[in-house]
Amino acid sequence: MIFIATLVLLIPVVLGLAAFSRRWVLEPFPTDWTLENFRLILLESPGLIKNSFKFSLIALLFGIGFGLPAAYLIVRTRMPGRDALDFVITLMLAFPGIAVGVSYLLGFWKTTPIPLADSWIIMALALFARRLPYFLRMAHASYLQLDISLEEASEVSGAGKIRTFFNISLPLLLKGVLVGVVMFFIMAFQEISTAVFLYQGGWETLPIGIYLDWHRGMEFGIAAAKAFLMIVITFILLLIISRISGGVLKAAWGPGGT
Amino acid sequence: MAFIEIRNLFKRFKKVVAVNHIELEVNEGEMLTLLGPSGCGKTTTLRCIAGLEKPEEGDIVIDGKPMLSQGFVEPSKRGIGMVFQNYAVWPHMKVYKNIIYGLKLQRIPKQEMHEKAQQVLELVGLDGLEERYPVQLSGGQQQRVALARALVGNPKVLLLDEPLSNLDAKLREELRFEIKSLVRRMGITSVYVTHDQAEAMVISDRIAVMDSGNVVQIGTPLEIYDKPANRFVADFIGTMNFMAGEVVQVLQDTEAVYVRTEFSEKMLCKTPSITATTPGEEVYASIRPEDVEVFAEPPQGKENLFKGTIAHKAYLGNFLYFFVSVNGTMIRVQVPHHLPQEEGQELYLFLNPEKCMILL
């Protein structure tokens, strides 16, 4: 228990100490406290934060736009090829981020028929593709839990399939999917192994920024501050999701609801 | 012309035939029950009427309008109300919203919608619970919501898919009568699916007994109980003693048949409208346990009188079951609960020829 707690809590503690100090190298604890690192990030590279949000959000929109219908096809229809679809998406789990990054870089290179690697959209696309299986699995699971007769009852009551989806399926799926959405966003937000191969000047995200700071050497404080910032953002997202899923939805489902 | 006509309906799932070219008619204002064991095709038939399944062949005509032959009519356009086994009440809507859902889709004025909802809420005994969420209701109340939701739009047809089988026994019995009187009062043509024969007997005007995708017999509960079409129906509805045997003689003028069974050379079966048979044919001489009479001493001048030994005695409160062994054949007999005979004692069974039927 203590061992696990140490492994987890060491991260924010060390990063925090490093982020709020200057030149913490030789002492057991930093002696020179400062906010300089954060000032530098916000003044000199707000683009990183902006890029991180931009790419992750677009990846997320792709994810919802593609993942929900895919889950619907796989769970609710007898469409031929739906098992193949499931397999192909799940296959993505087998590829490490480096493989995705390198193959997209080569496959979408300037000289290929689809020169996507030349546009920043490749960043969002790669984040989307890499994390799609997670989203699909979660959407899939919540679809499976949704009793089909709830949808059928709506159809019999006079609603068409599309209306039924928006009136019945979507609100009931929301809880499961919402968690999926936030997890997807967090994973996309923190992604580096794919992105580091694809980025060009001006497309750097926060994780890439951290890597570069470290790589250039001796900018440990700034790197730590960026990492700390990412943790805070992620933490806030998690907090929001726990509030939404525990608050609003609990009220909607009534006390003792699931 | 019947209100619902099912013509030559055929539906299969991959290689399994669920509904095998059935013909069925439901009259206006009638409650017809599809009864049968699980897998007999009763639910699939109901779902075909609702439009939730697309059959491969055949047609369904509701109130003169074909649902299949002139293009598939979507469930939302069929003007039906449906109650599902697991209630299917929408958990994210309050009771009131659940009930007015269909009316809202029809863009009915708010005032009228409210009146209709109140009416139907009172009808099912849920007034006062409009603002509850379904999880705050008991199973029985949830099914009442589902019933109200199905009835509120004045559907042409009400479909009920085992609506009571998730409820406990007491409540099930209570709701049976409620549904019956409610539907009868509103005069809605309804199709009810169940595997519970007692429920079917109580609730239906007519019963269609189904077995492996076929309709085996259609009739009033009384007809089906008294004159089962075959061994399957007789076994499924109520209890029946089947005595395997061979026809030895057919008496044309009195419509009676002599059967040789394992325990007797000649047993007389006289029930009219018995299945036509010829000597030598293998049949089941059958009699219901309550139709067997028992005697301590052999009465005079009775045919079909057999001596047996009580092998088991089962006390069921308001009556007794004797399992009587007649030369090794076990016959179940229902007798008044005060009979004093004990296991191992001998008695005489009178298998009244008027109540004995021949089944295949």
Q: Name the pLDDT band for A257 (thresholds 50, 70, 90).
A: very low
Gyration radius of chain B's alpha carbons: 25
Two tokens, residue B299:
């009465």
Q: What is the ipTM of this complex?
A: 0.85
- Residues on chain B touching A256 (C-beta within 8 angstroms): 135
Range of the domain at A188: 47-257
Interface of B with A (CB under 8 A): 50-52, 74-78, 80-82, 84-86, 88-92, 101-102, 105-106, 132-136, 146, 149-150, 153
| pLDDT for the residue B162 | 94
A152 with B82: Cβ contact below 8 A: yes
Angstroms from A91 CA to nearest CA on chain B: 28
* A124 in a structural domain: yes
Asked if B135's CB is within 8 angstroms of A156's CB, the reply is: no
Q: What is the pLDDT of residue A219?
A: 72
A125 within a domain of the structure (yes/no): yes
Closest in B86, B91, B153 to A253, CB measured: B91
**Do residue A254 and residue B52 have CB atoms under 8 angstroms apart?**
no
A157: helix, strand or coil: coil
For residue range B170-190, what is the model confidence (pLDDT) as tens digits? Answer: 889 989 999 999 999 999 999
Contacts of A147 in chain B (CB under 8 A): 86, 88
Q: Which residues of B touch A160 (CB under 8 A)?
A: 74, 76
What residues of A are in contact with residue B134 (Cβ under 8 Å)? 254
Number of structural domains in chain A: 1
Chain B residues in contact with A252 (beta carbon < 8 A): 92, 133
A197 belongs to a structural domain? yes
Nearest CB partner across the interface for B105, out of A152, A157, A257 = A157
What per-residue confidence (pLDDT) applies to A246?
Answer: 59
Residue B87 CB contacts under 8 Å (≥ 6 apart), including other chains: B134, B139, B142, B143, B145, B146, B166
The reply to whether residue A158 touches residue B102, judged by beta carbons under 8 angstroms, is: yes
Q: What is the mean pLDDT of chain A?
A: 83
Point out which residues pair with B65 in neighbouring strands.
B62
Give the distance from residue A65's alpha carbon to the nearest chain B alpha carbon, in angstroms.
Answer: 24
pLDDT score recorded for residue A187: 87
Give the pLDDT confidence score for residue B348 in this predicted structure.
Answer: 93
Q: A254–B50: do the CB atoms touch at under 8 Å?
A: no
Give residue B209's pLDDT.
Answer: 96
Q: How far apart, in whole angstroms, are the C-alpha atoms of residue B44 and residue B12?
A: 9
**Minimum Cα–Cα distance from B85: chain A residue:** A149
Considering only CB atoms, A254 lies closest to which of B52, B82, B136, namely B136
Contacts of B81 in chain A (CB under 8 A): 156
Q: Would residue A58 count as lying in a domain? A: yes
CATH, residue A116: 1.10.3720.10
Task: Give the mutation candidate from A146, A148, A157 for the B interface (greatest B CB count, under 10 A).
Answer: A157
Residue B157: its chain A contacts at CB < 8 A? none
Whole-prediction pTM = 0.79
Is residue A118 in some structural domain? yes
Instruction: With cut-offs at 50, 70 and 90, classify the pLDDT of residue A251.
Output: very low
Contact A156 B76 (CB under 8 A): yes
- Highest average pLDDT, of A101-110, A220-229, B80-89, B269-278, comes from B80-89
Interchain contact, B88 vs A150, CB within 8 Å: yes
Chain A contact set for B74 (CB, 8 A): 155, 160
Query: Which tokens sit at B133?
Result: 């969420």
Q: For residue range B231-263, what is the model confidence (pLDDT) as tens digits?
A: 999 999 989 999 999 988 888 766 788 899 888
The answer to whether residue A23 sits within a structural domain is no
Q: Are strands B189-194 and B31-35 parallel, antiparallel or unpaired?
A: parallel
Residue segments in chain B with a per-residue pLDDT below the cut of 50 = none
Residue A109: CB atoms within 10 A of its CB come to 13
Contact B135 A172 (CB under 8 A): no
Question: Does residue A12 lie in a domain region?
Answer: no
Of all residues in chain A, the one with the smallest CA distance to B151 is A157
Nearest to A254 among B77, B78, B135 (CB): B135
Residue A14 lies in a domain: no
| Greatest mean pLDDT among A204-213, A231-240, B342-351 | B342-351
Residue A159 has pLDDT above 60, yes or no: yes
What distance in Å separates the CA atoms of residue B82 and residue B155, rounded to the nearest whole number? 9
DSSP one-letter code for A244: I
